[in-house]
Amino acid sequence: MAQNEKLAELSSAGVAVWLDDLSRDRIRSGNLQALVDEHSVVGVTTNPTIFAAAISGSDSYDDQVHAMAVRRVGVAEALRTITAADVRDACDLLAPVAERTGRDGRVSLEVSPDIAHDTDATAAEAAHLWWLVDRPNLFIKIPATQEGLAAITTSIARGISVNVTLIFSPERYRAVMDAYLSGLEQRLADDPEAGFEGIESVASFFVSRVDSEVDKRLDKAGADPALKGRAAVANARLAYQAYEEVFSSDRWKALAARGASPQRPLWASTGVKDPAYPDTLYVSELVAPDTVNTMPEKTLMAYADHGSLGTPVQKAYDEAAATMQAIRDAGVDLDDVFRVLEDEGVQKFADSWNELVESVRSELEDKA
């Protein structure tokens, strides 16, 4: 079946189109397959919020939950069994994409946000989830907290493909790239004959939340309204500039010569929060080779309907730097913005995780 022309054009420009959503209904109904066939979707991301909505809003999980309730399975085990089943099925559905592209066809499953500040626990859960789902086109999502960086290195060294999530600043992004390269180097140090086949990684740089926080502070500072709605795109463009620098370095070239794949930037949180902004803003203005854009279905369909390619990221570095400096000059403490966004991001996912736990607990009790 023919692909949507606008999304096919976006893909041809180097942007891998992923869907930021997953549910059992979406898989079973054929909706996910249709998005692959008609809307250039080549990957899927999930998070606790997505699973909480999926499980609480569908009866497709009833039989599985009933069976676990009869067996008196604990809440934690039931939760992982449910989410792993959906991710495994999505991996199987996307396996032909993975075989065709070698890089996409990936589905992400996140470690518990409750351990985002515990390095050892994060690395251990990443290994467990990798074993539990047991699919080569899986990504384990690890938050880019300070404590998460070492867990990223450990996981990559073990051959686990990682989606690093909750990145807000170019500075933290550089630390994430360093953690990835360190993991590849550690893998070779542990076993000089070890290869990198099948090891992939993406770094999820969050976009819309930056505008939400910066716009609020610009209003409070009485700054020029023309600065509003510009921070997120500028920030992401500077992140891509950092990506180009790191993945053209001699350090990277030595790993590439051994067969390593670069860690692609992934634009996350790309649905606009402010209705005053174009609904395709964080897609059209973040077009660059070897990137991923994971979109809520609403954003995906908006781009399919009226999206267009904006200014290529690589042609806007000077403008992006000037924009971020103007925002600083207006009195916005960007370092504090990024700290707040990371803390809030971890907390929001933790809240959703707890909601998900309670939803599964309730379902187990009802089906017992």
Residues marked active site are found at: 141
Question: Cα dist. 32→20, 26, 39, 93, 169 in Å?
Answer: 11, 6, 10, 8, 32
Question: Cα dist. 115→82, 118, 271, 346, 355 in Å?
Answer: 20, 5, 27, 10, 16
| 102 contacts 196 by C-beta, under 8 angstroms | no
Q: How many CB atoms lie within 10 A of CB 71?
A: 9
| 137 contacts 106 by C-beta, under 8 angstroms | yes
DSSP symbols for 325-357 = HHHHHTT--HHHHHHHHHHHHHHHHHHHHHHHH
Closest to 352 (Cα-Cα) out of 166, 203, 87, 129: 166
| 262 contacts 200 by C-beta, under 8 angstroms | no
Sequence-distant (≥ 6) Cβ neighbours of residue 322 within 8 angstroms:
none
